[in-house]
Structure 1
């Protein structure tokens, strides 16, 4: 993949930022995109510190015109597109009785339809280059998690979309992979945008369970999380490996966690595991 052209979405922070720097360091021409280029300071600083060059451009995955313009401009400027990393996404915590259907739709718009739009725009160019399509999902795309109904639904949808697309894309020379992180110490958690005390206070009969969930999850992200650089390493491997796997976990914990579901035919082990988070 040296000197290949790679487009990555959602690079303002976290895994996306780390993946952009890592791919540039590996010699790839890296187009690092984000919804608001005014938030690119951390990205520029990371690139400067690493001594690499990034091509920073605007791309809003929820705006079809923005997606098309970004992809078309990359191909116009470089003459090719060899890989896309769908990383942009949004967290969400809530349960359906206490939120609106529009809240759920918004999560799907960013996390699922955003991926669909970028994929559709990129596929003709990836087909021409025999390229790679890599999508960052989550362990929440394999195991449903309490108070993550909308988020997990969106990631389940992405996993189903990509698992269905993979054999079809392979027939025209495009390799499809999904990368499944667990807890990552990044701004992603802050970007969920909830005030814990306020959320618990408004949760009604769900308040004790939500408090238990927040306490457990905050502890996991503060003490057991990977760094963004660690979580980005498998993305670089998917970009550079001769034959990358379809499903790639970013840590041993993520492999074990997802393994619970993939060997649990009746669902009892999985629900037993996640139900304990609410005790």
Structure 2
């Protein structure tokens, strides 16, 4: 596996950082991308501590900038001669409800969490076809079950899940495996990066204040029992290395139980068997 190259987005912290180090330890050449490479210190320190510095290369990539995506992928393929896997991990949270949200914030959530994934996927697929590679996308349990005060974020993650679920049989027809990884609460800088002034948010919530307070209290409690980024990233590494990865992978027992309230077809195999039949030309039944 030492000649295999994986590009991972959003690696300055959290799951992306842990996935970059974990993939390097698993034998991959890792192109760890982030919007601002000046924030690479934590990743480089973790790679050094794991003894994999030589396998981790930091590059700039802004998933909301098409030129940045195209330039980064072209540089990776020119340097390494191939691209065997992509992990779409970059994302941004957003807390708010539609009546009070600014539409620019809603659009921003979609740009980063959905259109950024589409942009990277679209640019990567020709290279993944060439290597019969693998596409892994970190979504969320919020891409399966909508959660209060997360309308914009969950809408984006629902969109990613629908996009990827639709892509699976098409990509498989040209030799590319597609999986989504669904974490629950993860103790990372993702939540801190929201920069929310909770008292101010509640004070501005008006009629929604009691519901918002209850939601925040419950969320703070759940993040007190959150997975570590490394625990969540282990599922990403499994998706990269398994012989036949499932489409849908939850990162913990809690995430599996939570999504099971909606997903009787927990790993996506029944839906994918049906969709594969559609693209393989099988006759309609019934």
Please report the TM-score for the alignment, with normalisation by the length of structure 2: 0.91
> Is contact 1:182-1:251 (8 Å) kept?
yes
How many pairs are equivalent?
A: 263
Contiguous gaps of at least 5 residues in structure 1: 265-279
Where in structure 2 are the equivalents of 1:85-100 lying within 5 Å? 85-100=87-102
SS where residue 70 of structure 2 aligns? Answer: helix
C-alpha displacement of 1:2: 4.1
Q: String of CA shifts for 1:207-226, please: whole Å, max 9, x gaps.
A: 1110111111011102x100
Shift of 1:164: 0.2
- State the alpha-carbon separation in 2 of the partners of residues 215 and 42 from structure 1: 30
Match of 1:186 in 2: 188
Query: Partner of 2:70 in structure 1?
Result: 68
Alignment-derived partner of residue 243 in structure 1: 244
Aligned position for 2:83: 81
8 Å contact kept, 1:180–1:254: yes
- Note the C-alpha offset of 1:3: 3.0
Alignment check: 8 A CA contact 1:137 1:155 kept: yes
Measured after TM superposition, the shift of residue 233 of structure 1 is: 0.5
**How much is the aligned-residue C-alpha RMSD, in angstroms?**
1.0
Q: Which of 212, 216, 219 in structure 2 is aligned with 1:217?
A: 219
By how many angstroms is 1:263 displaced? 4.2
Partner of residue 136, structure 2: 134
- Residue 253 (structure 2) aligns with: 252
Q: How far apart in 2 are the matches of 1:163 and 1:176?
A: 8
Asked if the contact 1:86/1:135 (under 8 Å) is kept, the reply is yes
Task: Find out whether 1:52 has 2:61 as its counterpart.
Answer: no
Task: Look up the match of 1:113.
Answer: 115
Query: Aligned-pair distance for 1:193?
Result: 2.0
Q: 2:277 is matched with which residue?
A: none
Mapped to 2, the partners of 1:191 and 1:131 lie a distance apart of: 32
| In the alignment, structure 1 residue 28 sits paired with structure 2 residue 13 | no
| C-alpha displacement of 1:261 | 1.3
Please identify, of 7-16 and 190-199, the stretch whose mean Cα deviation from structure 2 is larger: 190-199
Q: Distance in 2 between matches of 1:227 and 1:5?
A: 25
Q: Which runs of 4+ in 1 moved over 6 A?
A: none
CA distance in 1, matches of 2:198, 2:184: 21
- Higher mean alpha-carbon deviation, 192-201 vs 73-82, is at 192-201
State the alpha-carbon separation in 1 of the partners of residues 32 and 112 from structure 2: 18
TM-score with structure 1 setting the length: 0.93
Aligned partners of 1:263, 1:30: CA distance in 2, in Å? 35
Q: Does 1:228 align with 2:224?
A: no
Partners of 2:264 and 2:29 in 1: CA distance: 40
- The question of 1:169 aligning with 2:171 is answered yes
The runs of 5 or more residues in structure 2 that have no matched partner are: 266-286
Report the equivalent of 2:200. Answer: 198
Please give the secondary structure, in 1, of the residue aligned with 2:196.
coil
What SS is found at the alignment partner of 2:31? Answer: strand
Contact residue 2 and residue 26 of structure 1 kept, 8 A:
no
Partner of 1:13: 13
The aligned residue for residue 276 of structure 1 is: none
Q: CA deviation at 1:204?
A: 0.6
SS of match in other structure, 2:3: coil
